[in-house]
Structures are given as structure tokens and as C-alpha cells.
Amino acid sequence: MSTHDSWPELPPIQTGIRGRCPRCGEGKIFDGFLTMRKACNHCGLDYSFADPADGPAFFVICFGCIPAVAFGIWLEIAFRAPYWVHLFTTLPVILLTCIPLLRPLKGWLVASQYFYKAEEGKLVTPEPHSPAAQPPAEPN
């Protein structure tokens, strides 16, 4: 494990797409295809901050699935293709445009969360005895 006190700021696109640690750029963030590790195996960064949720799937649907499905619809309208043609053309196009993009997009979103110090939003309410919590005074 490395013992650096300060780490260089690495661009999220560079580290995330390659599936590398957003802090050191050396360790891996994935244990499987999309399973996150608990911590970096190089610098020890705890990955509990990382929660890309449905972000990768959303981007894949918008930029991968829509053009692939549009291809299938075009194929059907232009050639009235039988189902077996769609099985051997449209299905591979959908799979090849969607599945390979999930891992790099998830890595990019995790690295972006670290780089920009993103965290869950918190509702801040003023203390009951602070001046900001008091209602405005009535004019005389």
C-alpha cells in the first residue's frame, strides 16, 4: 500500500473509463464486470462513497439503445424482415451497443463523484435560537 499524503488530480474521464482508482490511477475499481471493490488495492481508497445508481444504464439507454432500436425499426419498415433476420441482426446490434458501454460509463461516474466530491444532498435547517430562524419583526 502506498503512503502518499497528497495525490495528483487525475481527470475522471482518464481514470474512470479504464476502470482505475480515481485517487491514484493505479488500482482497479471493479472486482467483476460491474461489481465494485471495497477499496483500492494500491492506495487503499475506500469506495463506499461511490454510488452511480442508474446513471450508466440511463446513458446506455439514451446513446446506445435508442439508435440500435431505431435500426431495428428501420429494418422492419424498409424490408419487412422476418423475425429470424431481427434475431441475427437487431439483437446483436442492441447487445453490442449496450453491454460494452456499461463498465466504462460506471467507472467514469464513480471517478467523477470522487473528483468533484459529490455526495448526497442534505437539507440544512437553521437552529431554533439563531437569528435566521426568527420571523421578521412587524413594522410599527
pLDDT at residue 122, rounded to an integer: 84
* pLDDT higher than threshold 50 for residue 1: no
More confident residue, 8 or 124: 8
Mean of per-residue pLDDT scores for the chain:
89
| Confidence bin at 121 (pLDDT 50/70/90) | confident
- b/e sequence 29-60, b meaning 16+ C-beta within 10 Å: bbeeeeebbebbebbebebeebebeebbbebb
Report the alpha-carbon angle 119-121-50, nearest 5: 25
Q: What is the pLDDT of residues 65-102, one digit of tens each?
A: 999 999 999 999 999 999 999 999 999 999 999 999 99
* pLDDT higher than threshold 70 for residue 50: yes
Mean pLDDT of all residues in 12-33: 95
Instruction: Return the C-alpha cell found at 115.
Output: 473528483
